[in-house]
Amino acid sequence: MIEVTPDLRGKTVIRLLWQTGLRADEAANLRISAEQMNLPEDMDDPDGLDSSDLDRDNRTITVREEISKNNQERTVAYQQSLADSFLSEWLERGRKKYRDWRTSPYLFPGDRGEQMRNDGIRDIVVDAAWKVNDVKDRDLQAVEFEDASGRERHRVTPHNIRHGFGSYLANDTPVGIWEVSHIMGHQDVETTQRTYVDADTDTGVPELKEFGPE
């Protein structure tokens, strides 16, 4: 999807969603500081932009309480591959192509406003998956159904990327279920287990062989 996405903002959004498991609205509301906006030297910093959700030194993102679905602040991390490529280029050059980049406190300004909306992030993902169908001749994207309002529901969306991220952590890595639940921003561990953990009758058997009492 990243390969077929032509613009830097789209590439950055997709890689960010995949490496952090952020919801679309959480990504849309990420704020950066005036220093990270790379403003011209002769321009005064906008008021109120002295803090950032993005900690580039530690490769972490703070999901503030007011934008988190469960109303609890959490911290997620991203990989060096994002830090060194798309994110760095986006902050240094790509972001400056948008009209309100000098005054917008958001990581992703919109095409005609200071903030990219949830639907904009969704469109990036949906359109990229359609391009994979065309360019790579793969059956990746499809319309699964239409909801009650007649809106098409697609197979590949930001939520599906988030689901893939959570499933990967829960089933293909040593990350514990409590940690996965916190990273995903779930209200409780039961939600994480019910949604992301694959049922396996042999779960725990290797651990029991190694650590079980004599």
Arithmetic mean of pLDDT, 97-123: 94
Residue 76 main-chain phi, psi, to 5 deg:
-120, 160
Residues 6+ positions from 116 with CB-CB distance below 8 Å: 9, 28, 106, 108, 109, 110
Tens of pLDDT, residues 175-202: 999 999 999 999 999 999 989 887 667 7
209 pLDDT band, cuts 50/70/90, is confident
Q: Check: CB of residue 106 under 8 Å from CB of residue 28.
A: yes
Tokens of 134: 């065309």
Q: What is the pTM of this model?
A: 0.89
Average pLDDT, the chain: 92
Architecture of the domain whose range is 8-116: Orthogonal Bundle (1.10)
Between helix 158-172 and helix 177-184 the angle, nearest 10°, is 160
**How are the residues of the chain apportioned to helix, strand and coil, as percentages rounded to the nearest 5?**
45, 10, 50
45 pLDDT band, cuts 50/70/90, is low
Model pLDDT, residue 199: 65
Arithmetic mean of pLDDT, 83-109: 95
Cα–Cα distance between 189 and 168 in angstroms, integer? 16
Tens of pLDDT, residues 136-158: 999 999 999 999 999 999 999 99
pLDDT exceeds 80 at position 3: yes
Looking at the chain, the domain(s) classified CATH 1.10.443.10 span 8-116
Tens of pLDDT, residues 94-106: 999 999 999 899 9
Arithmetic mean of pLDDT, 85-111: 95
pLDDT exceeds 90 at position 29: yes
Model pLDDT, residue 49: 67
Cα–Cα distance between 191 and 145 in angstroms, integer? 25
Above pLDDT 70, what percent of the chain?
A: 95
